[in-house]
Amino acid sequence: MFNLLVLAVSWVSVVEAQQAIRKPRIDDAIFANIYADNSFKLYINGDLVAVDSISFVPHNVVSVDLLPAYPMTIAVMAVDNADPETGMEYANTNIGDGGFILKLGDGTVTNDQWKAMKVSWGPVDGDTDNPPVENVPLPRNWFGVVFDDSKWPKAKEYSQEEIGPKQPYFYTDFSDAKFIWSDDLKLDNVVLFRKVVESPPDGKTRPDFRKLNDLVPQRGEKRRAPRKRREN
């Protein structure tokens, strides 16, 4: 009898959870506007959600819809186009520069409260005659929710004039967002960014759909096919 009671209570809990959680709609999503010099990969809560489809030129803005869940871990790999052996571009004739900016529809923006870690830089010391490049291995699970970025330095903010964004940037809403990079805008070529958003900056309550696949669908009664009448 006790086991039956526990089973009944458990089933009621599942049904209540199903009633409380619905399937997400597109209006549950928030937009994301992203601009990188030159390209990026964006992870939300450990999942890859957006990749810049143009790795070099023309510079482009990527706008996508995201389904948020808080606390929300944002992780980005930003890449300045550069030869992997020299750190230079345009047939090794020029030292490029980077830059990254993001704005989400919940009010999340890039600024110097983000964490930044360089993983590839060069030409070291700006030596263009003998341009060496240095790299460090990507930290394991650097984009994950449980990754410890406490020892990473803060990102550095840069002005619009320092970055020099191209035309698509000016057609997109990046209000209140700041361009960020590591300490060296020119020599650091691959930079990892992280930011944990504890709650929506705009104060709006949003459903958390992360557990949707963990629910057992509520089962209705199966209809039995009518029995055929036997003839004598």
Banded model confidence at residue 23, pLDDT cuts 50, 70, 90: confident
pLDDT (0 to 100) of residue 171:
96
Over range 63-89, report the average pLDDT: 95
Beta-carbon count within 10 A of 50 CB: 18
Beta strands per DSSP E along 71-217: 72-79, 100-104, 115-121, 134-135, 156-158, 179-181, 188-197
CATH top-level class for 24-210? Answer: mainly beta
Domain boundaries of the chain, sorted by first residue: 24-210
pLDDT digits 0-9 by tens, 103-136: 999 999 999 999 999 999 999 999 999 889 999 9
* Average pLDDT, integer, range 86-101: 93
Intra-chain end-to-end CA distance of the chain, in Å? 46
pLDDT for residue 224: 57
- Residue 22 in this model has a pLDDT that exceeds 90: no
User: Mean pLDDT throughout 39-44?
Assistant: 98
Q: Which of 3-12, 37-46, 122-131, 205-214 has the highest mean pLDDT?
A: 37-46
| pLDDT for the residue numbered 229 | 55
| Alpha-carbon gap, residue 165 to 35, rounded angstroms | 9
- The confidence score (pLDDT) of residue 212 equals 80
